Structure 1
Amino acid sequence: MKAIINRDRYLQQIVPLIGNGRVKIITGIRRCGKSFLLKTLFTQHLKNHGINSDHIVYLALDDIANNKYLNPLELDSYIRTLIKDDSTYYVMLDEIQRVFSIVNPIFTQGKIKLAKKSDDNYISFVNVVLGLMQISNVDLYISGSNSKFLSRDIMTEFRDRGDEIHMQPLSFREYVDALRPSNISAAFNEYMLHGGMPLVLSYETPEQKEEYLKNLFTMTYHKDVEERNKIRNESNLETLTAVMASNVGSLTNPAKIANTFNSELKINISKDTITQYLGYLEDAFILRKVNRFDIRGRKHIGATYKYYFADSGLRNARLDFLHRDDGHVMENIIYNELVFRGYFVQVGVVECYGKDSKGITQRTTLETDFVASKGSQIYYIQSAYSIDTPEKEYQETRSLKKINDSFKKIVVIRDSGPIRRDSDGIVYMGIEDFLLNENSLEL
């Protein structure tokens, strides 16, 4: 079934930036919908507001037909030839990180030579973008799938001249809006398994969806990371993504992961190499690292942290859909939803002190899954797939009850049902209510 998917949240972020004199930078994992946002949704918005098609320029730089524009000089020249009058031109350069860097031809007798990292006199897509920004009637939009090229280096290059809009795979709300399922609970189970990569919705059978996701991970993400970073030992990267998928939402660090490789998998790899590989996966938006935060001390704790996947379907695909672990997958979905809503998210840590039976003071470290903050507002959120016994409820809420401030405390559970509060003011809500109501944290 071909689903029509509206990405209104992202369109609403772009529209206020139209004509602001800055470059609009759309980032996100490959195949999450950046091209559709620009080529279809944003283009239609412009047309609906009276912009003629000949003043809307969209160029897909991952299309083989446009290969010659991967040369930054060819790209710059081509865009300039399209500007025929003084009216505003809306220029969208999709997957711009594919444009290669060349040594300035002034220093190569006019020959085109690929630049090396050690070369100082080079021309890259950054120069193209900065040059086009100097044209007063060009409103520029670029997209890319790798934060090494966009979120980090490019935002530094542009400083106060760029606005970043980060896209994610479909939220559950977007997923439901596209599919209009008759059974929301069944839809969530499907979302947990196959995730929210937009093209998944076009496949009918579980086998088709799983084959697509496995191929996407292997042929697109692994290949991209390996080729871009010139990784020689491809199997180690593949093993690392499998290890991270198996331990999603677990506290870890490169040293722990290296020990797992060495002791359990009998693979000799250093923590420095693990650190590098994790950085590559973060740059490709496959993984996100979440730091720990001492709630009482109001400070970061750097020893260990958690990683979450950009999409539950991709996580499951890396494990061939054989290792479900619904509790941690639901936690991953909650994390992605909080990021989607614009919250800054950390793992909460509460240190408690008490005396044992011998009167000796003992320190206990309790964890709250997420501390979500936006402006001056903070929410403490615990993911609990099931609370079916008093003991389980005590375990899941113990950390929340030790937080001595007035910010809201929420437990998100798998079961649906009415939202309730206990005597400590802790709110319990089902995952479907949490995901489908964008204001659910206020309920």
Structure 2
Amino acid sequence: MIERQLRETLQKRWNSGKIIIVLGPRQVGKTTLLEDMCRAEGDYLFLNGDDFDTQAILENSGEMRLRQLIGSHQTVFIDEAQRVPNVGLLLKIIHDRIKGVRVVVSGSSALELSSSVNEPLTGRKWEHHLYPISWNELVGHTGYLAAKQQFELRLIYGMYPEVINSLGDEQAVLRQIASSYLYKDLLNYHGIRKPEMLSKLLVALALQVGSEVSYNELSNLLRIDRATIEQYIGLLEQAFVVFRLSPFSRNLRSEISSSRKVYFYDNGIRNAIIDNFNPLSLRNDTGALWENFLISERMKRNHYAEAHGKRYFWRTHAQQEIDYLEEYDGQLHAYEFKWNSKAKARFPRTFTEAYPDASTQVISPDNFEDFLT
């Protein structure tokens, strides 16, 4: 079992009296982590939200029915809770009326679960995210040398636990995840009117990683209206398939302020979508893979460290750009990503003069570990 960084944070809040919610993509190890932690406490009640019988038992259950179901268990774990009708009210009843019961919840659709629990569970929950394996977790599991030896493989096949543990069979595992699990919650969501467009949209987004995304261009390409494009990207984000970066704009009229970049939570899923697992030496998108890897890994690092800064990219209408910015308490940190360690990188004078207090750093394969630790 690969030790997860989130475990330490969860352990600190395990006996807080609040409901613990862990969100994240399917197949990243939420069930494995939470079951292991529940098991360490002794006997616990496991309820599978994907199971139709479980859904029927829990739907509209009142306090008496829940007391009978929970019995003497001190811990209740509801897995894939977004599939349970009225789960927010159900959790509120357990928290408020059945004292001494620890409640742990997992979910792979922030859209459905958050909308169900946010209001009923205000002040009653801790919410966290679990992502595919992080670089730091991989190093901790395999050792630094072994992790470095498979570094290029991780850019191609990504960081899903089953992929890492299926050496030589990565492509089949990724295709299975992409086809069987990636859209599972989205296709059950009533807002998806044209499910066939999801695959086409994802291919288009995968081919634009690292570039600004134009909703109008996607609308023309896929022949669906812009509002639907925006809605579907938002849904893909809520299902932990992609995430967006907004442009940073504060002082200059020349700064772009309305575009977006879209990244994938995992390189392997991105490559499965376009069906390209060629080695780096045969690819023309290595720079995009490098950028996606670094930004997704930095996201994991920041979340597990509870470093809640703001994230941006920067670009002007004159095509001057910086790959990635973070802002903490008004202090800017600017990063350029270069796959070629010898390539020269200069931060635009327009940026450095407008933001003279910003720190700048070039991230390459020679120093990326510092960026991710």
TM-score by length of 2: 0.86
Which residues of 2 match residues 62-211 of structure 1 at below 5 A? 62-63=50-51, 66=54, 68-69=56-57, 71-73=59-61, 77-78=65-66, 80-84=68-72, 89-100=74-85, 124-134=86-96, 135-180=98-143, 182-205=145-168, 208-211=169-172
1:59 corresponding residue in structure 2: 47
Is the partner of 2:2 in helix, strand or coil?
coil
Unaligned 5+ residue runs, structure 1? Answer: 101-123, 262-267, 352-362, 417-429, 439-443
Matched, 1:330 2:318: no
CA distance in 1, matches of 2:357, 2:193: 52
One-letter amino acid matched to 1:271: R
Evaluate the alpha carbon distance shift between residue 137 and residue 252 of structure 1 in structure 2; reply closer, same or farther with a 3 A threshold: same
TM-score by length of 1: 0.73
One-letter amino acid matched to 2:48: A
CA distance in 1, matches of 2:68, 2:323: 50
2:8 corresponding residue in structure 1: 12
Q: CA deviation at 1:192?
A: 0.6
CA distance in 2, matches of 1:295, 1:225: 36
Q: CA deviation at 1:58?
A: 2.9
Matched, 1:393 2:345: yes
Check whether the contact 2:241–2:264 (CA below 8 A) recurs between aligned residues: yes
How many pairs align?
Answer: 361
2:267 corresponding residue in structure 1: 312
CA distance in 1, matches of 2:257, 2:230: 14
Deviations 1:252-292 (A, max 9, x none): 1322211233xxxxxx2111111121122111011111111
Which residues of 2 match residues 184-263 of structure 1 at below 5 A? 184-205=147-168, 208-229=169-190, 231-261=192-222
Q: CA deviation at 1:345?
A: 4.1
Deviations 1:403-435 (A, max 9, x none): 533342111013x2xxxxxxxxxxxxx224433
One-letter amino acid matched to 2:312: V
Evaluate the alpha carbon distance shift between residue 330 and residue 312 of structure 1 in structure 2; reply closer, same or farther with a 3 A threshold: same
User: Percent identity between the aligned chains?
Assistant: 25
| Residue in structure 1 matching 2:23, options 22, 27, 38 | 27
2:357 corresponding residue in structure 1: 406
Q: Of Structure 1 and Structure 2, which has the larger fraction of its residues in strand? A: 1
Is the partner of 1:29 in helix, strand or coil?
coil
Q: CA deviation at 1:183?
A: 4.5
Deviations 1:329-384 (A, max 9, x none): 11112212222223434224365xxxxxxxxxxx7453222222345654211112
Check whether the contact 1:172–1:188 (CA below 8 A) recurs between aligned residues: no
One-letter amino acid matched to 2:94: L
One-letter amino acid matched to 2:360: K
Unaligned 5+ residue runs, structure 2? Answer: none
CA distance in 2, matches of 1:224, 1:81: 27
Evaluate the alpha carbon distance shift between residue 308 and residue 234 of structure 1 in structure 2; reply closer, same or farther with a 3 A threshold: same
Check whether the contact 1:347–1:368 (CA below 8 A) recurs between aligned residues: no
2:312 corresponding residue in structure 1: 347
Check whether the contact 1:26–1:165 (CA below 8 A) recurs between aligned residues: yes
Evaluate the alpha carbon distance shift between residue 339 and residue 181 of structure 1 in structure 2; reply closer, same or farther with a 3 A threshold: closer
Deviations 1:224-277 (A, max 9, x none): 32232364533321110011111112111322211233xxxxxx2111111121
Structure ranking higher on relative contact order (CA contacts 8 Å, 6+ apart): 2
Check whether the contact 1:400–1:409 (CA below 8 A) recurs between aligned residues: no
CA distance in 2, matches of 1:332, 1:39: 31
Deviations 1:62-107 (A, max 9, x none): 35674544534299835643333xxx8222211111113xxxxxxx
Q: CA deviation at 1:212?
A: 1.2
One-letter amino acid matched to 1:248: V
Evaluate the alpha carbon distance shift between residue 170 and residue 133 of structure 1 in structure 2; reply closer, same or farther with a 3 A threshold: same
Is the partner of 2:8 in helix, strand or coil?
helix
CA distance in 2, matches of 1:96, 1:434: 34
2:324 corresponding residue in structure 1: 370
CA distance in 2, matches of 1:238, 1:383: 29
Q: CA deviation at 1:34?
A: 0.9
Evaluate the alpha carbon distance shift between residue 153 and residue 296 of structure 1 in structure 2; reply closer, same or farther with a 3 A threshold: farther
CA distance in 1, matches of 2:320, 2:63: 54
The structure having more radius of gyration, on CA atoms, is: 1
